[in-house]
A and B are shown apart, each in its own frame.
Chain A
Amino acid sequence: DQQVKQNSPSLSVQEGRISILNCDYTNSMFDYFLWYKKYPAEGPTFLISISSIKDKNEDGRFTVFLNKSAKHLSLHIVPSQPGDSAVYFCAASGGSKLTFGTGTRLQVTL
């Protein structure tokens, strides 16, 4: 049973536009959420996180939004750049372990 779901396996966005990656979770005990980015043949790297006491966290071009009532979070990338092309994993923690989604492959086109 996937407790963290990324229902879009892939997304294509034009350079300069906004990329929105979505993530849904089912476990109400999750209280900390992270996004990781992964390039081919490399391990995932941490991108941004958010605690459940917040509904938004921003870091440069990256913003994560959390809607606890909907058990939904999203990652916004503005503006999108070709170097952002990668697989993005959403992860959630309730303190005991980190549960990852299956990832969304983002392709930023010229």
Chain B
Amino acid sequence: DAGVIQSPRHEVTEMGQEVTLRCKPISGHNSLFWYRQTMMRGLELLIYFNNNVPIDDSGMPEDRFSAKMPNASFSTLKIQPSEPRDSAVYFCASSLYAGGPFRNEQFFGPGTRLTVL
């Protein structure tokens, strides 16, 4: 298995532009997570899906952020409009839900480094 795939690996954009990050989870996994990593706050959970349904989006910082999972093999995280403070590394992770999504190992993708100028 190729593991969790994220694209792009790096994104540089200007303030106000729309940014779309993409994720392909590991085949067979039914839970998908979007995280953001910053120096100050470490890894923060933004949203997670179970069986393609958003379960908890309380970590999404504001309405400029949205996430979708149209099918079991694809998810997007969109920022519109982007701001310099959104600059961070965004990780997607997947796992197999078995009695609780936070009791099982999560497999992370390599991340997307986003820079908003």
Q: Which residues does A use to contact B, with CB under 8 Å?
A: 2, 4, 6, 32, 34, 36, 41-46, 49, 89, 91, 93, 95-103
Cβ of B44: which chain A residues have Cβ within 8 Å of it?
A: 100
Q: Which residues does B use to contact A, with CB under 8 Å?
A: 4, 33, 35, 39-45, 48, 56, 59, 91, 93, 100, 102-103, 105-111
Cβ of B109: which chain A residues have Cβ within 8 Å of it?
A: 43
Knowing A96-B56, A98-B45, A103-B42, the reply to whether A42 touches B100 (Cβ < 8 A) is no
Knowing A96-B56, A97-B56, A103-B42, the reply to whether A43 touches B91 (Cβ < 8 A) is yes
Cβ of B42: which chain A residues have Cβ within 8 Å of it?
A: 2, 4, 6, 89, 100-103
A-B contact pairs, 22 of them (CB 8 A): A2-B41, A2-B42, A32-B103, A43-B4, A43-B107, A43-B111, A44-B43, A45-B107, A45-B108, A46-B105, A49-B105, A91-B43, A95-B103, A96-B56, A96-B102, A98-B102, A98-B106, A100-B35, A100-B43, A102-B41, A103-B42, A103-B43
